[in-house]
């Protein structure tokens, strides 16, 4: 999503009115780290009128006026509000109808201006007016420029704290106000904002002014503006709410699924909250260049095109499910985030964790055959990986400035947060939990909240104390390792549970030998095998570090320590228990089999288990029928391929990959690469994962040749292969591809019929292995061929390409000044997080030195985590080299 636009200005100049003279300003204050970046709570906006003149087809500038109606809680001689990268003038303050002389003082270190008054004004009402001018930004923040072919647009992206780069405002979530927005632009431009258009006034010189209805109370980060040549779908209705999809011209055929998903999920959200959709309209806007995946602007939700516009004939099942999940996530925010908003960014998780959980919950109720909680398990697994690091952070974490707020848009806030929400919902019961959420939303609508408001509502509804259970989960970093051992005593079977903070390395390799004192209240649910085909759940609230749980079954066939993967912890089973689970794995649900693999792999990484038996387990799963379980199997195998490449001789590394191919090729041959009539989605998805295992990881030559052949067919006719194979087929084709194929991919990306096809071919140029093509792909990151939104993602892909990663890191260092301008704050962490794939002490040192010399405000935590991951990988490689060599020798016998 990041990139600085180098677009040319229009060659058709327009005569502009002279702008207002700048107001006299005092000397800027010296830069220093402020004690607090929060604005005074004693000056609050109630209503805000914003008028902006912008026409991106004619100019890269904009100008406007803003009028704030304020409530002053006490006498004051100054008003501070946010403004950054704007030229301000014509400051006017009125109190009781009387003008008060005022001057501006810039505070760049606080991204604010102070309005210094010539006299003290009393508590009560006041009006503050300012004129402002700025340039459409190139970094996808504030009010920024975007392009689709030759058309130019202006869009906003204001979360977390970028409304201040659009107009002078009180840019903190607690300052909710009612906004009236008006826009003067070219007569041919579409203009969208949060509310419906109230009226459009034609002007001279081919211009118009669009006036929008005043909004309900909103935080500034939820405001929206889109200006440019946009087309709209026919509406669909969810009760009285009309839903429309807006897009750049020519993509109307791709809107049907988004409309269906929005209608179906919105109806279920209204039923869940027992409250109608709270805004006057619902526009879904496909933005051609956008930093985030999507943004929950009230009434006007913005999306990346890939997450809104799809062709049912060519979309993959993963892409389709992801579109539905993201749409539902953003619509859940209309209640959880927009209607009820966190008071400050340290409670960001109140917005994002609940919207994440709600999206999976609602889409699963709409499409149970999609098995959305299996998808969630993959995301949760990634969150467990990040949260195992010493450099993780609590779900709730103190936020001192906007950069720290931006850092928190990560796996911990979203996926760990959603996992804790799910755990609490399961513990309290679905009905009590929903009643508490309804009460919370009803009590705090159009206001701001903190976490305790939610705990109080859930406690009242469930008649249980919620805060003592949940507090440790949101205020402590990390998660428990739960050791589980069964014991037979006095004729009864019982479980011995012992918790400790999970560590991703053996104790002897840890920097700190002191054991962690952390503990968590665990609403534990286990699965006990009671008969040949039967099992039952056992529940227990564990509030101590050690606990005992009696089992109703005298001699259970097996015990699985995290039923339905509902708890955010890793169970550690005894070796005999693990053997019993492996033998009875078909009695576990698919998500539990995914967990079984993931937890066993984490035990190997943490030094609690050996790599040989783990490989034996993974390579016996070739007959697994569930594609999500196979995908879970592929994750540790991919990591072990990297370990083999780094620590084994090349011939041994090739032999390791061949063993993967040998294990899964019979299943791939059985299902073939051609789709069959009346196949289920699972069968098609299973084929795709098997192709990845055999062709990508196993690198079987015959399979790769067939994939290259299918890639050539796919380039000529998208209908020749099952869409679910497309990503892997194109990636394998690229890995073995030449210059002609590279050029073909570029032309197909340019001419693509869908956003997904464009993404597929553009990202695939990062998979080529020939050195000159690697360099060409890297240089394209500095051109408009790779959109701003895609630069960080492509660099991340190339760091994952073992034949391109060293060249990619060298390029990043050499061209960082230009690259940094093309990676917005939320995206710049992506390639940083991928640098550990370089491996080794040398590259760790280089990464540390480089980012010490080129610090990134929103990437400090990412750098620390990357350096820690370098260390973890090195320790694991050193510890695993000999066991891997021994395992390979044993396989060769």
Q: Which residues participate in catalysis according to the annotation?
A: 330
- CA torsion angle 718 722 723 726 (round to 10): -80
Whole-number Cα distances in Å, 553 to 297, 416, 493, 530, 778:
53, 33, 7, 7, 61
Query: How far from 431 is each of 332, 359, 458, 531, 536, CA to CA, in Å?
Result: 18, 18, 11, 31, 22
Rounded Cα distance between 403 and 161, Å, is 9
Q: Are 484 and 603 in contact (CB under 8 A)?
A: no
Classified as helix, coil or strand, 653 is: helix
Q: Which residues contact 478 (CB under 8 A, 6 or more apart)?
A: 387, 388, 392, 501, 502, 516, 518
And the tokens for 224? 């929206």
For residue 24, give the DSSP letter: P
Residue 401's alpha-carbon distances to 38, 98, 172, 344, in angstroms, are 8, 36, 11, 10
**CA–CA separation, 849 and 845 (whole Å):** 6
HSE, CB side, 13 Å, CA atoms: give it for residue 700. 21
Distance in angstroms between the alpha carbons of the first and the last residue of the chain: 50
Contact by Cβ (8 Å): 474, 485 = no
DSSP letter (8 states) at residue 254: G
H or E element: which one contains 363? helix 348-366
User: What is residue 40's three-state secondary structure?
Assistant: coil
Task: Burial-class residue 809 by CB neighbours within 10 Å (0-12, 13-18, 19+).
Answer: buried
Two tokens, residue 308? 């809104």
Q: In what order do the strands lie in the sheet with 535-542?
A: 535-542, 522-529, 559-560
Q: Decide if 568 contacts 420 (C-beta within 8 A).
A: yes
**Gap between the Cα atoms of 218 and 163, Å rounded:** 12
* Nearest-angstrom CA–CA distance, 591 and 306: 27
User: Are residues 778 and 807 in contact, defined by beta-carbon separation less than 8 angstroms?
Assistant: yes
Cβ-contact 3, 789 below 8 angstroms: yes
Look at residue 70 and give its three-state secondary structure. Answer: strand
What residues does 190 pair with on adjacent strands?
228
What's the token pair of residue 865?
């985590």
Query: CA–CA distance from 259 to each of 297, 319, 367 (Å)?
Result: 17, 16, 15
């Amino acid at each position: 999503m990041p990139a600085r636009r180098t677009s040319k200005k229009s060659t058709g100049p327009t005569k502009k009115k002279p702008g207002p003279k700048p107001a006299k300003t005092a000397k800027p204050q010296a830069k220093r780290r402020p004690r607090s970046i929060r604005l005074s709570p004693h000056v609050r906006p109630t209503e805000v009128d914003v008028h902006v003149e912008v026409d991106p087809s004619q100019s890269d500038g904009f100008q406007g006026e803003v009028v704030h109606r304020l409530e002053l809680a006490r006498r004051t001689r100054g008003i501070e509000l946010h403004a950054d990268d704007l030229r301000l003038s014509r400051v006017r303050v009125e109190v009781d109808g009387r003008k008060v002389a005022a001057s501006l003082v810039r505070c760049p270190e606080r991204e604010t201006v102070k309005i210094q008054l010539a006299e003290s004004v009393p508590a009560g009402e006041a009006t503050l007016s300012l004129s402002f001018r700025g340039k459409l930004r190139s970094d996808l923040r504030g009010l920024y420029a975007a392009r689709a072919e030759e058309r130019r647009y202006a869009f906003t992206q204001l979360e977390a704290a970028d409304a201040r780069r659009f107009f002078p405002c009180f840019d903190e979530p607690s300052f909710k106000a009612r906004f009236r927005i008006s826009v003067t632009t070219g007569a041919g431009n579409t203009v969208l904002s949060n509310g419906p258009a109230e009226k459009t006034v034609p002007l001279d010189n081919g211009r118009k002014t669009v006036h929008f209805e005043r909004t309900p109370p909103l935080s500034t980060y939820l405001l929206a503006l889109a200006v440019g040549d946009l087309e709209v779908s026919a509406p669909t209705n969810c009760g009285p709410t009309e839903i429309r999809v807006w897009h750049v011209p020519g993509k109307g055929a791709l809107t049907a699924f988004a409309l269906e998903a929005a209608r179906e999920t919105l109806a279920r959200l209204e039923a869940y909250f027992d409250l109608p959709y709270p805004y006057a309209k619902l526009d879904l806007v496909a933005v051609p260049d956008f930093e985030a995946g999507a943004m929950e602007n009230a009434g006007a939700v913005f999306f990346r095109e890939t997450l809104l516009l799809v062709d049912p004939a060519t979309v993959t099942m993963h892409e389709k499910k992801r579109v539905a999940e993201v749409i539902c996530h953003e619509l859940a925010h209309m209640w959880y985030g927009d209607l009820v908003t966190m008071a400050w960014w340290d409670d960001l998780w109140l917005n994002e964790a609940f919207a994440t959980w709600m999206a999976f919950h609602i889409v699963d109720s709409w499409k149970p055959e999609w098995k959305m909680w299996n998808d969630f398990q993959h995301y949760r697994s990634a969150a467990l990986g990040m949260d195992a690091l010493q450099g993780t952070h609590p779900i709730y974490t103190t936020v001192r400035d906007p950069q720290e707020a931006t850092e928190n848009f990560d796996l911990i806030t979203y996926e760990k947060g959603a996992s804790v929400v799910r755990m609490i919902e399961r513990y309290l019961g679905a009905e009590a939990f929903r009643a508490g959420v309804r009460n919370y939303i009803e009590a705090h609508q159009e206001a701001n909240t903190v976490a305790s408001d939610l705990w109080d509502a859930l406690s009242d509804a469930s008649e249980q104390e919620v805060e003592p259970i949940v507090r440790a989960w949101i205020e402590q970093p990390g998660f428990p390792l739960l050791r589980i051992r069964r014991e037979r005593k006095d004729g009864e079977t019982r479980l011995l549970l012992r918790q400790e903070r999970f560590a991703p390395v053996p104790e002897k390799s840890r920097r700190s030998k002191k054991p962690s004192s952390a503990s968590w209240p665990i609403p534990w649910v286990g699965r006990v095998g009671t008969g040949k085909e039967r099992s039952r759940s056992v529940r227990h609230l564990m509030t101590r570090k050690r606990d005992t749980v009696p089992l109703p079954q005298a001699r259970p066939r097996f015990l699985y320590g995290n039923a339905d993967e509902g708890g955010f912890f890793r169970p550690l089973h005894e070796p005999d228990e693990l053997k019993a689970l492996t033998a009875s794995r078909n009695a576990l649900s698919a998500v539990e089999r995914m967990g079984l693999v993931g937890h066993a792999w984490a035990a190997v990484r943490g030094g609690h288990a050996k790599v040989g038996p783990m490989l034996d387990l993974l390579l016996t799963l070739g007959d697994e029928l569930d594609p999500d379980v196979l995908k879970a199997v592929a994750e540790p195998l991919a990591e072990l391929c990297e370990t083999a490449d780094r620590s084994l001789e090349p011939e041994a590394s090739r032999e390791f990959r061949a063993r993967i191919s040998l294990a899964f090729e019979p299943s791939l041959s059985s299902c073939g690469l051609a789709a069959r009539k009346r196949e289920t989605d699972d069968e098609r998805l299973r084929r795709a994962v098997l192709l990845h295992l055999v062709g990508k990881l196993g690198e079987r030559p015959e399979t790769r040749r067939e994939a290259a052949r299918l890639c050539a067919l796919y380039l000529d006719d998208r209908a020749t292969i099952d869409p679910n194979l497309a990503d892997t087929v194109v990636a394998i084709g690229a890995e073995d591809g030449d210059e002609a194929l590279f050029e073909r991919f570029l032309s197909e990306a340019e001419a693509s019929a869908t956003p997904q096809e464009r993404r597929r071919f553009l990202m695939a140029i990062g998979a080529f292995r020939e050195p000159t093509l690697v360099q060409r792909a890297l240089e394209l990151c500095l051109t408009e061929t790779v959109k701003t939104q895609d630069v960080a993602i492509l660099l991340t892909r190339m760091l994952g390409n073992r034949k391109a990663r060293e060249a990619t890191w060298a390029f990043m260092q050499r061209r960082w000044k230009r690259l940094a301008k093309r990676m917005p704050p939320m995206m710049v962490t992506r390639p940083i997080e991928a640098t550990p794939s370089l491996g080794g002490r040398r590259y760790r040192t280089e990464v540390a030195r480089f980012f010490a010399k080129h610090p990134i405000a929103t990437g400090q935590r990412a750098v620390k985590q990357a350096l820690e991951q370098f260390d973890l990988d090195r320790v694991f490689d050193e510890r695993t080299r000999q066991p891997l060599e021994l395992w390979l020798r044993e396989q060769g016998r």
